[in-house]
Structure formats: structure tokens, C-alpha cells
Structure 1
């Protein structure tokens, strides 16, 4: 879901990328996804798993990952993690289609009381072994960002003020082998009497062509009341839309137009329109003061994300990530699945930023690889899902810190 940061992906997307700072708008969830996240999600090839580490049943990390054996005492804060919502996130893992070794652990978890965090911690220590993740170059630290699920306001019919379209996958979008331009989305066109696959319309082209807009409007899944909110949705890769009748519509990443993502935050800085740190609030405030320039800002990012939509009867459930299970706030991460298999528990050690100039505090916790994002690439790289709503968005926007990761691999029974 993205896909994931501003994870300004989705999912998708599942997206999706929200780092609302200079590298902003480059991570994320969504949530697609499903995948997504945050976004933050482009399809990735299946990993080629390496040799099994000693003492584990299956190596569930990719060939570019170096694993170093660790003890539980090596994990910063392991004994202090309160395990809140850990079991919920883990059991959601178990509802997905998992590699055999993880499925076997899930089967053994059935006897663990759902409210006994002490027994749950003991279970993880008995069933898994921690391995510190390093890149092939030996680096054990990488970038940790955040993404979230925005709450938006919209309508299933076009009526004022709901006039900003969110599009589903267009019928004329086809795959395209990307060349030097990196564009993977295509459309069929006749050129000089021959049928060719041309790059799909980018955002600026769509904004400038009423005929293309009208064609895309035939696949609208919802109409929003804010172009800036639609931008945040595009970056995160998933969202929850409140309809006029009080129902909730959950949007999930479905695909993109295949154009590379570019940060609108970076555009604001590079063009001198803002200075300093760019956050979601800064972008929103700038847009309110410069409404005539908003289309130009939006056009600076050629990527367009498409969505699916479904009425949601449980808004507290969370968006669905690439693993196919609902994400759990502060316990789900998006990863590069070429490096880390979806479903694996991961110990995350980074920092949690606070507002008003307060120094960041250590953030050490057990999380689960349940999502992917198009900007989440590399070995020691994760996008933490911070939750749903504005507060989660502000936290996600401030998260851009170095961190370390330990993957928990199933041990031989």
C-alpha cells in the first residue's frame, strides 16, 4: 500500500512512496499492492534464494543479502518491546500464502494464547533465529522511512465540490518494454500505417488534453474534493474515502501509467518556491496560497497511479498490503521483496521523530514484511506503516532516518 512516504504508493502504488522531506515523496506504501504501499508498486521478479544459513530451515533472503548470525541480546531493545499488536500482525501473516517454513511456524502458533505477550515472546525466541542483514558491500545500515493511509472525502458521482477524479485502470493501458526512458506503460497507436506501442500519457499530457481526460473519466472509481489530497493518495498508494452518506470506500493500488516517479517536494525546492524542509503541511499550505500553480506542481510528477475501490465495513482494519493481508500500524513494513521474502518477521532499530524540535527517540520493535513499494529498493531498506489519518501522516512525513534490520528465520525443529 507504498507503497508507500511524500511514502508526496500505494499500496500502489500499494506505494508509493512518504518521505515528506527533501527526498520526500520518494518512499512509500500501498498499499499496493496488492500490494502498493504507501504506498507504495511495480511488479518485481521472484528472488533466487541462496544457501540455507546454519540452523534454519529456509533462507528467505535474496542473493544480494549478507546474513550475520546474532543472538537475541544483540537486538537493541528486544526485551523492552511491549509486543503490542505483534500477535495481531503475525496472525495476519499466517492467513496469507507463505513459504512452507513460515507456514509450519504458523501452525505451531495456534496453541499460543492471543493475550499472553510473555508466551508470544518466548514463542518467537523458540521458533526463530535472528540474523543481521547487511548489503553485499557489508553495509549494515540503511534508510528507514514511513508511509500511511490518508483519510479523504469524496463521492461516487461528480458533484461539487467532488470534481477531482481518481481513475481505475484504463482499458487502453498495455505493458511496454521500457527503453532508456524507463517508461513501462504503453498504449496502442497507429503510426505511418503501422500499429505501435507508444508511452502511455503522462500527467502533463493528460492535464492538457480534454479528450484523454474524458476517456480516463470513464474508469473513475471516486471523485475527491481536493487535488492536493489526490496527490497524497497517489504517493501513498492507498486511502480511505469518506462518502457523503457516511460510508467508507477503501482505495487500493491497481497500477500506474508506467512513468518514473518524481517528487513534487523536490520540484518546489528546485524552483525556489519553498525553502527548508518540505512536509505534507508545507505542500498543502503552498497550494492554498498558489492555486493557479497547482496544476504545474502536479505535472512535475509524470507518474499517474490507478486504483481499485471497495466499500469498507471495518475502517479500523487497515489497508491491504502486497502480502494480501491488512497492515498493522507500527508493526507492518514495506520491503524490497527481492531481498526479503514477504511474511518474514524483522527486528527494526531506528529512530522515531517528534515535532516541535524534540530530539528523535530510539524506535526498536518487531515488525513484519507485509508490503512493497516502488521506491523501497535495496537490502537494508524499509518503509514503516504508521497508520491511518492525519496524525499518522505527520509521523510518516518526519520519518527518514538510518536504521538496522535483523531478519528472523525459522529454526530447524
Structure 2
């Protein structure tokens, strides 16, 4: 078997990279003692030396900045981190030994070179060292891996003659789908000029992009991110499109958009231009569809890192809805092994991130006033804080805050 077939995908803390070169060092720690008036020295074996690896790493591709940032985040965190050596496999927990060097040049556009040394972490305080990574960092790495795998599959499978027309049509369909989702799910935000123009530009450039499969994913990914970011909260955001600035409305809008994007391509592609075509053309369109859906779930998984969650009910809804979309993609028989593996990691990372967030979130329950009461008094009874009356009024669409109907259950947050 050729040696290249045995190579593994190198990574540090889950952040993947290519290896330009790698060298290791190790050995034994021997102490030599030379005694006065003695011809023979004494020696003592103090144990094995810590293993070190000097790594020259490269990240490359249209999405190289994401891979670069993921590796930077690992290199600048305390660790320890799991280290996968391309020839030696899993080397366990390591820490960065000193600093790192990062190089990016115009001559090597689309690539970043790293130089760093890692050392095995061993044990601390006599206890086993556990590999740790923040849930948010794990999700960011998983998102980058899904996008990279979808991009690689796209480039590999579209590098064939005679399918430019099918690819162009698929890009046009993607643009139409995003326009439709924009209008149906974003309401008052659908008219964002930059997003409208960007979607129109994608459709106009579809013939050119069809001949450049390596550029398709970055274009589509950028538009998906812009579509998702419309509902992202910022410090100066105008909450007018979201009544009361409700967090759950943002979550619902994001999930509706995500589901609509997935549903666009669940049906079997029709024959190209109404004419029966060969399997190669149909496969090309399916590859485009799968790559788009993968980029969409990655984009919306990343979005939920920045959208504030209101309650544990939000966590359950996201896990159900977005989790089901990821599961459906994992069942696609045409997905490459790399994409399937990346989606599996994304599903796990999403679960970990949201479950971690849920620990600090309140739960939703109900309270039934015994009689018609002011919202201020109800808030005092439930929370011990009458200033939370507007929260009860907004959540339950109460018409008269001074006379909340008795005998009717109210939805309230506890915790």
C-alpha cells in the first residue's frame, strides 16, 4: 500500500491543517555525576524526556481564513489539546511549547503557514490530564470542517466536462431559494439592500461561477452568512421587526429560514431543461444541492453562538429542528466520508454547546392568577420583583396590564 494512503488528517485541538514538515524529539533524562578522585562517572536515569514535535503547518483554500482562525484559537488557548500526527496517529494531550509563527503572503494567496512546537502534556498534580476545549470553540471548529469537506467534495466532483450548464442552473436555483426564504421568513428585514443586491449578483454570475467550482462555496457561504446575520443581535440593533425585542422571535425566524433552505432541495432534481440527461449531469446537480445544504446547516449552527437564548425550551427546539436537518444530511448516500464525519462532529458539537448554554437558562412554566390582578402584583408574587411586569405582559400579549384575566394560565420564566 502506498505510504500516502496511510496518512491521517493532521489536527490540533480539532483544528485541521496540512503538514509541510514535522519532526519530533524525545529520549531519556540522564544525570551524570563526576566524583573527585574517581575515574568512572556515576549516572542516574531520571525517566523519559517529554516528547516534542516541531510542526510546519499549512492551511489553504477559499475558506482558509476560517481554518487559520480555528488553529489560531487553539494555539492561543491554555489547552491541553488533542494532537493528531499525520503518520503516528493520536499522540494524546499536548500543549504549545513557546510561541508560534504565522506567515501569509500575496504570492501564496489563499494560504497561511504556521510554525510551532507542541510538547506532551503528561499529568498535572498527580492526576490524569484531561483534554479540554470550550463548547463554543468546538462548534466553531466543527463548522469550519463541514464547510471545508463540502467545498472539497464540490471541487472534486464538478471537475468534469459537459456539466457547466447543470451547475449554472443549480446556482440559479440556489439564488432563487435564498430570495424566497428572504421574503417569506424575514418580514420587515427582507428589504436589506446589501443582501438583495448580493443575491442578484450571484444569479448574474452563475455562468462564470459554474466554470470555477473552487469559487462557488465561498460565494454561497458568504450569502448564507449575510442571510443568517439579519437576525443577529448587535449593541445598536433596532428591534422594531421583532415585537418587544423578544429573543424567542429571533430564534423562530432563524429556524424557519434554516428549515426553508433545507426543504428547497429535498426533492429529486428534475431533468435539465426538460430534456433527459445522463447520470453525470444529475449527479453534478445533487452535489451542488448537498454542498449548499451542508453550508446552510453550518451557517445556522454558527449563528446560534451569537443569538441570545431565552430559555431551555429554545435549546430543545434548536436541537430538534437543526439537529434533524444535520441528521438528514448525514443519511445522504452520496455524501463523502469526510463530509459525513464532519457532519457527525458538528451534530455532537452543537449538542455540547447548547447543553452547556442550557445550564444557565431559565425554564418555561405556567402560572394561573386566582383572579383579575395587575401585572405588577403578579410579577411581585412570582419573582419578588414588580419591575418584571412588562416581561409577563409582553410574553402573554396581555391587553390591559392593570387587569390580567384570572383563571387563564400565563407563561412565565423560572430560574
TM-score (ref. length: structure 1): 0.26
Flag the structure with larger Rg. 2
More strand by share: 1
Q: Which has the higher contact order (CA 8 A, sep 6+)?
A: 1
More helix by share: 2
TM-score (ref. length: structure 2): 0.25
